[in-house]
Amino acid sequence: MKLHRNCLAALAASLSLVGLSSAALAQTVLKAADVHPQGYPTVVAVEDMGKKLEAATNGRIKLQMFPGSVLGGEKEMIEQTQVGAIQILRTSLGPVGPVVPEVNVFNMPFVFRDPKHMRAVIDGPIGQELLDKISASPAKLIGLAWMDGGSRSLYTKKPVRKPEDLKGQKIRMMGNPLFVDTMNAMGGNGISMGYGEVFTALQTNVIDGAENNPPSLYTANHFKAGAKYYTQTNHLIIPEILVMSKVAWDKLSPADQALVKKLAREAQLEQRALWDKAVADYTAKLKAEGVEFIEIDNKPFYESTAAVRAKYGAQYADLMKRIADVK
Ligand code: GTR
């Protein structure tokens, strides 16, 4: 009788152990990362995607967000995503170019007429083709969805109105040789550097300026490091992208993969609405902080970068024509 009772207790203990461990095993926590701080449109949209994912899977799949570059700069985070240490990454497409060269077609200066044109392209077949190219490439990244990064303009310590004004000025660009070439063609000296180093580099005069959209200029505080002149060059309109590590992707069931893709697409649309508001809000805040927005005719900058489009775009001539034809 005693033996019987002991056996039952042992069985119950092992059952509860099995129960515990299978519940723990069944839960997948996806680490998501972003260079931007809490509250930034991309961060909010990915966090909301995580909430929906958790609800739709009854807590089986969770997403944990690491904002504000806590897991590194974009180059490092892309590498971590490739090896599976980060599972979901929101990044600019700029630093993806060196690992998936086909995406550089979207990274070229003045390839889109305006942000509206860019949205029409990413929402259509070309946008899907590029996501598929990323997924099919050997980079071990799955292209989930696009996000909006508006349009990038130049900010400097001295006012700039034309390419000649950039002579001798060191301007930080994202890590991709295409961007250094772009800045050199625009008249300045392009310096490749991580986003997290820009503030100190401005403060210590290692650089004289950088280029970005208003929400980034404001939230990264670069205007407080002396970059008070914001010249509306609108030279780069680069979509942001949400990618998943192929290592993590391959562990999901086909049904979960479809769910992640669907929710990523919803995050794309949510981020877009948040983005439009952020551009308006941060533009007003920058002006209130004394940043001078310099309106210019950007044609000389467009013309000065023709050689960059010719050099990098030759291999995408057909695709560039298709992009230009999107209304
Ligand atoms: C921002 C973009 C970031 C990052 C940053 C940069 O506009 O959202 O992903 O690429 O620019 O300049 O490094």
What digits encode the pLDDT tens for the residues 70-118? Answer: 999 999 999 999 999 999 999 999 999 999 999 999 999 999 999 999 9
Phi (first) and psi of residue 152, to 5 degrees: -95, 135
CB 62 within 8 A of CB 53: yes
Q: How far apart are CA 174 and CA 191, in angstroms?
A: 8
**12 CA to centre of own chain:** 50
pLDDT of residue 26: 66
Which numbered atom of ligand 1 lies nearest the CA of 91? 9
pLDDT averaged over every residue in the chain: 93
pLDDT of residue 221: 98
CB 227 within 8 A of CB 155: yes
- C-alpha of residue 306 to centroid of ligand 1, in Å: 24
pLDDT of residue 225: 98
174 lines ligand 1 (CB under 6 A): yes
CB 286 within 8 A of CB 217: yes
Outline where 158-220 has alpha helix (H): 177-186, 198-203, 214-219
- C-alpha of residue 3 to centroid of ligand 1, in Å: 67
Residue among 34, 172, 240, 272 whose CB has most ligand 1 atoms within 8 A, to mutate: 240
pLDDT of residue 15: 39
Which numbered atom of ligand 1 lies nearest the CA of 34? 9
Assess whether pLDDT exceeds 70 at residue 13.
Answer: no
- C-alpha of residue 263 to centroid of ligand 1, in Å: 23
Q: How far apart are CA 236 and CA 149, in angstroms?
A: 10
Taking the CA atoms of 305, 116, 129 and 44 in sequence, report the sign of the dihedral they define.
positive
pLDDT band at 235 (very low <50, low <70, confident <90, very high): very high
Q: How far apart are the first and last CA of the chain?
A: 83
Assess whether pLDDT exceeds 70 at residue 318.
Answer: yes
Which numbered atom of ligand 1 lies nearest the CA of 194? 13
Q: Which two tokens stand for residue 142?
A: 């799955």
SS3 76: helix
- C-alpha of residue 50 to centroid of ligand 1, in Å: 22
Outline where the chain has alpha helix (H): 2-26, 41-56, 74-83, 115-123, 125-136, 177-186, 198-203, 214-219, 246-249, 254-288, 299-304, 306-313, 317-325
- C-alpha of residue 173 to centroid of ligand 1, in Å: 10
pLDDT of residue 187: 98
Assess whether pLDDT exceeds 80 at residue 134.
Answer: yes
Query: Crossing angle for the helix pair 306-313 and 317-325, nearest 10 degrees?
Result: 120
Residues of the chain above pLDDT 70, percent = 92
For 28-58, how does the pLDDT look when each residue is reduced to its tens digit (9 = 90+)? 999 999 999 999 999 999 999 999 999 999 9
pLDDT of residue 2: 46
- Which residue type occupies 273? A
- C-alpha of residue 237 to centroid of ligand 1, in Å: 11
92 lines ligand 1 (CB under 6 A): yes
305 closest CA partner among 209, 182, 136: 182
74 lines ligand 1 (CB under 6 A): yes
Mean pLDDT, rounded, for 166-171: 98
91 lines ligand 1 (CB under 6 A): yes
pLDDT band at 8 (very low <50, low <70, confident <90, very high): very low
For 135-159, how does the pLDDT look when each residue is reduced to its tens digit (9 = 90+)? 999 999 999 999 999 999 999 999 9
Mean pLDDT, rounded, for 170-186: 98
Residue among 89, 92, 221 whose CB has most ligand 1 atoms within 8 A, to mutate: 92
- C-alpha of residue 195 to centroid of ligand 1, in Å: 7
212 lines ligand 1 (CB under 6 A): yes
Q: How far apart are CA 63 and CA 55, in angstroms?
A: 11
